[in-house]
Chains A and B, each alone.
Chain A
Amino acid sequence: MSLTRQEVEKIAHLARLSISEQELPVYVTSLSSIVDFVAELARADTGGVGPMAHPLVGLRQRLRSDEVSETDQHERYQLNAPSVQSGLYVVPRVIE
């Protein structure tokens, strides 16, 4: 089942990935072959089993005690930031 160009564009948009005009057909081809490959799953008989939640059985989520354990490290963390002003991460204007 081949994916259409529009479908690939829509997926790229959902995933916030820019794909150039030249690249697009390559992705259409490779994504189509991947989807074909995994479509074998759709045909498989998985009987009455439920989807796996976790590889290890019988484990439950651990609970952490409600304590403040972190200090203000923003200057150190923001060393990696592309654009910071007055402690804020700067991005192009967010429109509500």
Chain B
Amino acid sequence: MADWEVVIGLEIHTQLATRSKIFSGAATAYGAPPNSQASLVDLAYPGVLPVLNAEAVRMAVKFGLAIGAKIAERSIFARKNYFYPDLPKGYQISQYEDPIVQRGRLAIALDDGTVKTVGITRAHLEEDAGKSLHEGLANASGIDLNRAGTPLLEIVSEPDMRSAKEAVAYMKKVHTLVRYLEICDGNMQEGSFRCDANVSVRPRGHTTFGTRAEIKNLNSFRFVEKAIQYEVARQIELIESGGKVIQETRLYDSDKHETRSMRSKEEANDYRYFPDPDLLPLEIDSSFIAAVRATLPELPDEKAARFAAQFGLSPYDAGVLSASRELGAYFEAVVAAVGAANAKLAANWVMGELSSALNRDGVEIGAAKVTPTVLAGLLARILDDTISGKIAKEVFEALWTEGGDADAIISAKGLKQITDSGAIEAIIEQIIAANPKQVADYRSGNDKLFRFFVGQVQKVTKGRANPAQVDELLKQKLG
């Protein structure tokens, strides 16, 4: 069996989060009643003309700067001609030979901790198409053009990825980045972030590329991974059994977990690209770029590096905490309150309890009742030994559902930690007296029973006894 190398390139379509469409003043909000956000321009009525949205251009430039790409001083809009009911003009306004964003790159962290640079060939502006719906229409389809004209930034990677995992890592990185830049909400269920994967295989050591298949419209990280894995296996099996891979477009069937050829795409479409005569060349000068550059936030990699350096976090922790701007900002707010020396504690709680609760309940971090101030208040009570870490989790749950602050809950539920040695000693003596057999067992060498005594103390104190003191005093008393 030959040793196969997998070659993957991704084309990611991100819907830019502008208020209005790229070429018309209709709204872009998701979920509106059919065709209520389709203006005459979006409907391709006779006589209408496109006018370019400044914010879409700024967002594209922002992305280009974030990936270290050259921004074209002059880029051209071109018509991509084909017939489809969700494409009202019979052509899509896109960019062909002269895209707005040229060659850039993105660093991705692989599972083994290494960093790989993925090349980005280009990113260009184009308009989205509408949607066709089939439910409730016998032998027909209903066309909704609300989405037609929504600005898209199509991001094309070099065929640099060598495994499904790398492809997912890249896709996740782009997803994080566009949300950081606030140019896309990244909502894959709503179709704001869509991925096509170009997959081919070749014998290891070959430099020419094998024939590739394109898998369209993968709208989750899991699907991308599974679709690529399936496709790779399919292609290898095909070639090894004497067949040839055909250049074609395939769809991923998430129920059957397989890719299949798209029936409607017979021959390769001749798109007859030509520069759109209704639009003039887009010229971007250095002052425009400078103005956009000034709006760039600290990028995810920069933030992760800073967290690691400033707060002594591991690269993994720094990476998790910088996965979104909101999470990073939350974390920093907590650290500001509890002090940089306690950054690790803050990190653990943000990555642990907070993130679990956010995911479990599907809550946006900005809407959580446990604000950074509230969490910091809780951590302060751990740090000053008012409560143990274990009790703090209980307090957190109460804060999460009811709101309020840590002190109020500790007080209301009487959770204050017992740190009075005398009181703990007294309880220990009671337990020793009540459990002579276990005491004897322990003293004759059964060390495991130590936990039993700890458990008993905490049972009586309802978990409020300071664990360190309990340990120390038990050791003293038990001998």
* A touches B (Cβ under 8 A): yes
Task: Name A residues whose Cβ lies closer than 8 Å to a Cβ of B.
Answer: 14, 16, 53-54, 59-70, 72-74, 77-78, 85-96
Q: Which of A62, A64, A87, A95 contacts B36 (CB 8 A)?
A: A87
A88: contacting residue among B20, B144, B263, B264, CB under 8 A: B144
Whether A67 pairs with B20 at a CB distance below 8 angstroms is yes
A92 to B84 alpha-carbon distance, docked (Å): 12
Q: Give A91's nearest chain B residue, CB to CB.
A: B85
Main secondary structure of the interface of A (DSSP, over half): loop
Taking A16-B83, A96-B262 as contacts, is the C-beta distance between A88 and B54 under 8 angstroms? no
Number of A-B contacts (CB under 8 A): 127
Q: Please name all residues of chain B whose beta carbon is closer than 8 Å to the beta carbon of A73 when the two chains form the complex.
A: 39
Partner of B38, one of A62, A63, A74: A74
Given contacts A61-B283, A88-B34, A88-B142, contact A77 B25 (CB under 8 A): no
B140 with A91: CB separation less than 8 A:
yes
Partner of A70, one of B27, B45, B272, B277: B27
Residue among A60, A64, A93 having the largest count of chain B Cβ atoms under 10 Å: A64
Interfacial chain B residues near A61, Cβ < 8 Å: 52, 77, 279-283
Q: Does B172 contact A (CB under 8 A)?
A: no
- Whether A87 contacts B35 by the Cβ 8 Å rule is yes
Contact in complex: A59, B280 (CB < 8 Å): yes
- Does B19 contact A67, Cβ atoms closer than 8 Å? yes
Closest chain A residue to B132, Cβ basis: A94
Name the one of A65, A72, A87, A95 contacting B263, with C-beta atoms under 8 angstroms.
A95
> In the complex, what residues of B have CB within 8 A of residue A54's CB?
277, 280-281
Q: A70-B24, A91-B85 are in contact. List 16 more A-B contacts (CB 8 A).
A: A16-B83, A54-B277, A61-B280, A66-B53, A68-B25, A70-B27, A70-B37, A73-B39, A77-B40, A77-B45, A91-B141, A92-B139, A93-B137, A93-B139, A95-B263, A96-B263
User: Does B123 sit at the interface, judged by CB under 8 A?
Assistant: no
Closest to A78 in B: B35
User: Complex Cα distance A64/B26, Å?
Assistant: 13
Residue of A nearest to B51 (CB): A64
Q: How far is the CA of A91 from the CA of B57 in the complex (A)?
A: 34
Q: Are A74 and B263 in contact (CB under 8 A)?
A: no
Asked whether any CB of chain A lies closer than 8 Å to the CB of B76, the reply is yes
Minimal Cβ-Cβ distance residue in A for B54: A63
| Interchain CB contact under 8 A, A88 and B52 | no
- Residues of A near B57 (CB, < 8 A) are 63
Question: Which chain B residues lie closer than 8 Å to A16 at the CB level?
Answer: 83
- Given known A-B contacts A61-B282, A70-B39, A90 and B141 have beta carbons under 8 A apart: yes
Residues of B within 8 A of A88 (CB): 34-35, 133, 137, 142-144
Question: B77: nearest residue on chain A (CB-CB)?
Answer: A61
Question: In the complex, are the beta carbons of A94 and B137 less than 8 A apart?
Answer: no
What is the chain A residue whose CB lies nearest that of B134? Answer: A93
List of B residues within 8 angstroms of A87 by Cβ? 33-36, 144
Which of B43, B56, B262, B263 has the most CB atoms of chain A within a 10 A radius of its CB? B43
Q: From known contacts A70-B39, A72-B37, A92-B140, infer whether A60 and B85 are also in contact, taking CB-CB under 8 Å.
A: no
Let me know if B19 and A66 touch, CB within 8 A: yes
* B137 and A85 contacting across the interface, CB-CB below 8 Å: yes
| Min CB gap A33→B, angstroms | 22
| A62:B141 contact, CB within 8 angstroms | no
In the assembled complex, the Cα of A59 lies from the Cα of B136 at a distance in Å of 49
Nearest CB to that of B284 among chain A residues?
A60
Bound form: Cα–Cα A78–B283 in Å: 37
Shortest beta-carbon contacts, A-B, top 8: A88-B142, A69-B25, A66-B55, A63-B54, A87-B34, A60-B283, A72-B36, A70-B39
